[in-house]
Amino acid sequence: GEEVAQTPKHLVRGEGQKAKLYCAPIKGHSYVFWYQQVLKNEFKFLISFQNENVFDETGMPKERFSAKCLPNSPCSLEIQATKLEDSAVYFCASSPNMGGFYGYTFGSGTRLTVV
Amino acid sequence: ELKVEQNPLFLSMQEGKNYTIYCNYSTTSDRLYWYRQDPGKSLESLFVLLSNGAVKQEGRLMASLDTKARLSTLHITAAVHDLSATYFCAVDSTSGSRLTFGEGTQLTVNP
């Protein structure tokens, strides 16, 4: 399809619980990116993939966050032992090529609330 | 580390007026993007600027890129209420592996 599909739209977890978010990129897009948007509009880069390979993971808090993009499956972002500060909207974006020459298409986001 | 600064962060305009939003960034890049975000919604791509001197226009919005000055502008002409939203610029890393976003400009157009 021509949209980046993110599920679920909303997710509520108690502190310490696991959260798993999914992203299906646009068909034919080889690059997938995850961003976290916190309350004051700030976007924080988390991780990017080229197909199933990690492209850039310098934004990932590695002790609790992990991500995968496996063939023929939606990409996933998993947070182990969620904390209150993980409450945010998580956006996935995809791109057909490296370097963003055709731009990046963002999904509608998953709103994670940790209580 | 690449830093991206937008100004103003808040902009209240009257319908029919013109204004410019500025986006400055700290290290070399020749790829910059403008997005619009409505409350509770995703990012809508407005402009993709890929080279020095690039200028693109869509309706009442026009964006430009000066890579030597590390500056992009988003110009609004004759604002209408429907343009009320938050506008973000984002700069691509050299490798294309990540975007760095500005803080966003919250635009309100008043009748």
**pLDDT tens-digit series, residues B28-72:** 888 999 999 999 999 999 999 998 889 999 999 999 999 999 999
Closest approach of B47 to chain A, Cα-based (Å): 8
| Mean pLDDT within A23-38 | 95
Closest approach of B14 to chain A, Cα-based (Å): 24
Contact B31 A101 (CB under 8 A): yes
Q: Which residue of A has its CA nearest to B103?
A: A42
Whether chain B has a CB inside 8 Å of the CB on A49: the answer is no
Cβ-Cβ contacts under 8 Å for B71 (sequence gap 6 or more): B22, B23, B24, B25, B65
List the strands of the sheet with B71-76, edge to edge.
B4-7, B19-25, B71-76, B61-66, B55-58
Would the pLDDT of A1 be above 70? no
Q: Of the ranges A1-5, A18-22, A105-109, which one carries the lowest mean pLDDT score?
A: A1-5
Would the pLDDT of A33 be above 90? yes
Contact B41 A108 (CB under 8 A): yes
Is-contact A34 A77, C-beta < 8 A?
Answer: yes
Residue range B76-110, pLDDT digits in tens: 999 999 999 999 999 998 888 899 999 999 999 99
Name the residue type at position B41.
Answer: K
- CA A28, distance to chain mean position in Å, is 18
Tell me, what's the pLDDT at B29? 85
Contact A98 B95 (CB under 8 A): yes
